[in-house]
Amino acid sequence: MLYQLYEAQRALLSPFAEFASASSKLYSHPLSPLTHTPLSQRVSAGLDLMHRLSKEYEKPQFDITSATVGGVDVAVQEQVALTKPFCRLLRFKRFTDNLPALTRMKDQATVLVVAPLSGHHSTLLRETVRSLLMDHKVYITDWTDARMVPLEEGPFHLNDYVGYVREFIRHIGPQVNVISVCQPTVPVLAAVSLMASSDDVMPRTMTMMGGPIDARRSPTAVNNLAMNKSFGWFERNVIYNVPVNYPGAGRRVYPGFLQHTGFVAMNPDRHLSSHYDYFLDLVRGDDESADAHRSFYDEYNAVLDMPAEYYLDTVKTVFQDFALVNGTWEVEGQFVRPQDITTPALLTIEGELDDISGAGQTRAAHELCTGIPKSRQFHYDVTGAGHYGIFSGRRWRENVYPQVRDFIASHQAPAPKRTARKASSARELATS
């Protein structure tokens, strides 16, 4: 019922949002006589803010049409490499007729960015992709809003997410370097573990950024909510059916608007201050600051619904049972064993001020991946960075990306293969 009430509110506010937008322009357009009335700038700014607070935010586009490779601007085309019911594997294909740049691009490493399925669209990693395109061939997972997936496509569980990652790695091939940001660090580690146990294709490197590998460490407000409420509480209080006006009508989901409300509630003062600063920027005519605010909130306010099965599986597996670290996670009859991973290099990254994945949660991957030689394990703490700062913004560009770039570049030669004895031991452990 809550979802239906939300949709009714959205429908009621839609005309008001359009009215506020049109009225704001009447008080700011240079040809409008109202622009020259007293307090016109404040009236226009107030109406513009009302418009943004009441409008519906659609899925943004990546809008990446060019990249700089070795000082040369090259064209970028977004292509769909693989389509699944709940996800598209996108490739950002680069084109140029500059021979040195073309030669350089052919020799660059391939990266698969596994984006979070946690309420926001994969375009949240737009800046991550922009940076990576300077030195890599880039793929990314583009998760589908569950309300847009018809019921006949069936359910989507956390184990299905793991299966998707395995399929994407196989599709790209053994030269791939996997980067997981936030929530997908857990299913990515599971996917690679299962592939290692089965002597399947292995990525060259794994980069894990700000994820809840071991959510027991330095628990945040997000962790505490998941750990202090029962599984039944989540099923009763946050799962709703998609209304009839969407293709996925009747599908059980964790609505994006609930996730968005939770994120805002974590830092209400900061969001209130940001909107007030936006109002003042409009009054002062500071277009650059106002555009930066719009760009951030166009992304932040655009949310998607998650399949109920996947959301509830994540709560139970990651935040209540801690199945990955306890060795009890089973996928299609096979236990997830990170200790079977031996060939990929591992880099974990954490933000000093991360209030979503606490200190030590991502670093815990090193304690699980005991089969990877210490010489191929690395960790980087980002001083002064919050959760979003490790994959976007100035700290990402100046501090984190150079670390990721150099880590990937230094591990492009195939890792030494396991000896027959080691491989046999791994198989015995996997079946014990």
Q: Tell me: the pLDDT tens digits for 71-98?
A: 999 999 999 999 999 999 999 999 999 9
**Percentage, residues of the chain above pLDDT 70:** 96
Strands 240-241 and 252-254: antiparallel
pLDDT the model gives residue 427: 34
Helix, strand, coil share of the chain (percent; to 5)? 50, 20, 35
pTM for this prediction = 0.89
Q: How confident is the model at residue 61, as a pLDDT?
A: 93
What value does the mean pLDDT take over residues 9-23? 91
| One-letter amino acid for residue 420 of the chain | A
Contact 178, 188 (CB under 8 A): yes
Asked if residue 266 has pLDDT above 80, the reply is no
Does residue 425 surpass a pLDDT of 70?
Answer: no
Strand partners, 93: 77
pLDDT of 335 over the 80 cut: yes
Residue 418 has pLDDT above 70, yes or no: no
Residue ranges, comma separated, of all CATH 3.40.50.1820 domains in the chain are: 66-234+306-430
**Amino acid at residue number 80:** V
Any idea which of 106-115, 188-197, 218-227, 393-402 has the lowest mean pLDDT?
A: 218-227
Task: Pick 303 or 432 by higher pLDDT.
Answer: 303
d(CA 49, CA 22): 12
Q: Report the pLDDT averaged over residues 423-430.
A: 35
What is the average pLDDT score of the chain? 92
Residue located via tokens 């933000």 = 351
Q: Which of 265-274, 288-297, 305-314, 410-419 has the lowest mean pLDDT?
A: 410-419
- In 171-315, beta strands by DSSP E: 176-181, 205-209, 240-241, 252-254, 306-307
Percent of the chain with pLDDT over 90: 80
> Residue 414: pLDDT above 80?
no
CB neighbour class for 78 (10 Å; exposed up to 12, middle 13-18, buried from 19):
middle
Q: Quick one: pLDDT at residue 378?
A: 98
Q: What is the pLDDT of residue 432?
A: 27
pLDDT digits (tens, 9 = 90+) for 360-389: 999 999 999 999 999 999 999 999 999 989
pLDDT of 416 reads 65
Does CATH number 3.40.50.1820 belong to domain 66-234+306-430? yes
